[in-house]
A = this chain, B = another copy of it.
Amino acid sequence: MNKPAKTEPNAIATRAQDYSQWYLDVIKKATLAEHSAVRGCMVIRPHGYAIWEKMQRELDDRFKATGHENAYFPLFIPLSFLAKEEKHASGFAKECAVITHHRLKSINGEIVPDPESKLEEPLVVRPTSETIIWDQYKNWIQSYRDLPLLINQWANVVRWEMRTRLFLRTAEFLWQEGHTAHATEVEALEETARMLEVYAEFSENVMAVPVIKGHKTEGERFAGALDTLCIEGMMQDGKALQMGTSHYLGQNFSKAADVKFQNKDGQLEYVYATSWGVSTRLVGALIMTHSDDAGLVLPPKLAPIQVVIVPIYKSDEERAKTVEEAKKVFAELKALGVAVKLDDRDGIMPGAKYYEWEGKGVPLRIEIGPKDLEKGSLCVARRFVSDIPGETPEAQRKRRKAFLPRAEAIASIVPTLEAMQKELLEKARAFRTARTRTIDKLEDYEKFFKDEGGGFAWVHWAGTPAQEEEMAKRFETSIRCLPFEDQVPAEARGEGKCILTGQPSKLRVLMAKSY
């Protein structure tokens, strides 16, 4: 048995102290990601990537269940393609990685782009793939029989960002982009709504992040879209995070790429399009919704490790016995379909292991010591429990641990994971409710965002884009969405008057600070 090593605690700023630093510290302690030597590009470390893989699997299953197939299109887009759809081009021109040469050369001992390899037409690394994909669809669509065409791509994209933030805003990020083609506007609109619903359902049932669904304002629409639907989550600093978007593109891209089809009446018509996407930004949303001052908290459905088993011992003899029992428990949980890990690393104190797995967000820990062997029991510790108002942290810590007879403990694991999944969603819902206001007066609005920490504000709005700018300057808030009617809380429904102009308004909008 090696002598236990002392481990350096990987301290985390508290949310109250410094929310931005807390976010970075959680990522660091959980080894999720870090900056790379390439400006704006992040490295997703194995634990972070494993969470993304779990998200991918869940989303991909949903895409396939709704009839979509995966495909792969080029990383590069010729400049002239991007230029085809005017709004699209101006929307993405400012943040493009541009390829101008295809060879390097050593000149005077320095490696430089070979001037002779200059491309006739520069290429852009895809910031999104509408233009290159619709150019290909031209070959695939002739008749209404070829429609709908329901395709998704998992890919990396690049948008040159100056101010980056791990997961939330990086120059390169990973995402999926659905690109569908339809014979009618009605079908395309249905698809747009259907995929937003898929995102919302995934967000709530898998990520345990409640969302508000709605339309983006004209100014916030995807460049080239006629309508952009979105889901907005609330982070623990009360800010909104746009988690996914689904765009109705009308015939803009089919016209730009000249994709017509023969309809059932034999007439040629431009195809109707949608596109929709979510990205590794969702990992950022996950972190900021659930984590606490001890580190990452993960909903069991997205936890790469759901249960970690830690044997406790002081001698080689005790080690042999507790590790043997730990292996048995490991096998039993694995047989139940639980993602379980046995941490039998020697030379690391149990406390250091608890600290490490806590920081990595593992939902359940099973501790097995010599006394547990004697008693035939197991200690099951939860990463979190639901809050009880007024409870001290110490009391809550105790409530997290259960000493159960062995069989009962094993049988409790799957139901406990399921319960924790639900509790996280409820907790996030309760948090959002507590930080949501229906506001009619500008002074209350100011108080909410300047003195009370802010959150989601349901307000009547009938202002101009310039007046939206005014709100942004005064309060740092913006219209997160024009909500679907059923998304507005009962007490906030009905007509009223614009909070700024007093003009009549039919439905409140969702205002918040945002990422």
Binding site for B on A (CB under 8 A): 34, 36-38, 41-46, 49-50, 52-53, 69-79, 81-83, 89, 93-106, 111-113, 117, 122-125, 132, 135-136, 139, 151, 155-156, 158, 160, 172, 174
A43: which B residues are within 8 A, CB to CB?
Answer: 71-74, 136
A117: which B residues are within 8 A, CB to CB?
Answer: 98
A125: which B residues are within 8 A, CB to CB?
Answer: 75, 99, 125
A46: which B residues are within 8 A, CB to CB?
Answer: 69-71, 151
Q: Is the CB of A74 within 8 A of B41?
A: yes
Contact of A113 among B98, B102, B158 (CB under 8 A): B98
Using known A-B contacts A38-B76, A71-B44, determine if residue A96 contacts B102 with beta carbons closer than 8 Å. yes
Q: Is the CB of B103 within 8 A of A123?
A: no
A172: which B residues are within 8 A, CB to CB?
Answer: 74-76
Known: A36-B132, A38-B123, A93-B106. 4 other contacts (CB 8 A): A34-B139, A38-B78, A45-B71, A82-B104
A423 to B466, CA, bound (A): 71
A99 to B41, CA, bound (A): 14
| Residue from A74, A76, A94 whose CB has the most chain B CB atoms within 10 Å | A74
Q: Is the CB of B160 within 8 A of A103?
A: yes
Contact of A136 among B36, B82, B113 (CB under 8 A): B36
Contact of A70 among B34, B49, B71 (CB under 8 A): B49
A273 to B107, CA, bound (A): 31
Contact of A37 among B78, B93, B95 (CB under 8 A): B78
A94: which B residues are within 8 A, CB to CB?
Answer: 103-104
Smallest CB separation, A39 vs chain B (Å): 9
Contact of A102 among B74, B77, B98 (CB under 8 A): B98
Using known A-B contacts A46-B69, A79-B111, determine if residue A36 contacts B74 with beta carbons closer than 8 Å. yes
Q: Is the CB of A98 within 8 A of B97?
A: no
Contact of A53 among B70, B75, B160 (CB under 8 A): B70
Contact of A93 among B36, B38, B111, B156 (CB under 8 A): B111
A34: which B residues are within 8 A, CB to CB?
Answer: 136, 139
Using known A-B contacts A50-B69, A111-B79, determine if residue A98 contacts B101 with beta carbons closer than 8 Å. yes
* 22 cross-chain CB contacts under 8 A: A34-B136, A38-B76, A38-B77, A38-B123, A38-B132, A43-B73, A43-B74, A49-B69, A49-B71, A50-B70, A74-B172, A93-B105, A93-B111, A94-B104, A95-B103, A96-B104, A98-B101, A98-B102, A98-B103, A100-B101, A101-B122, A112-B122
A104 to B82, CA, bound (A): 10
Q: Is the CB of B97 within 8 A of A111?
A: no
Q: Is the CB of B38 within 8 A of A160?
A: no
A155: which B residues are within 8 A, CB to CB?
Answer: 156
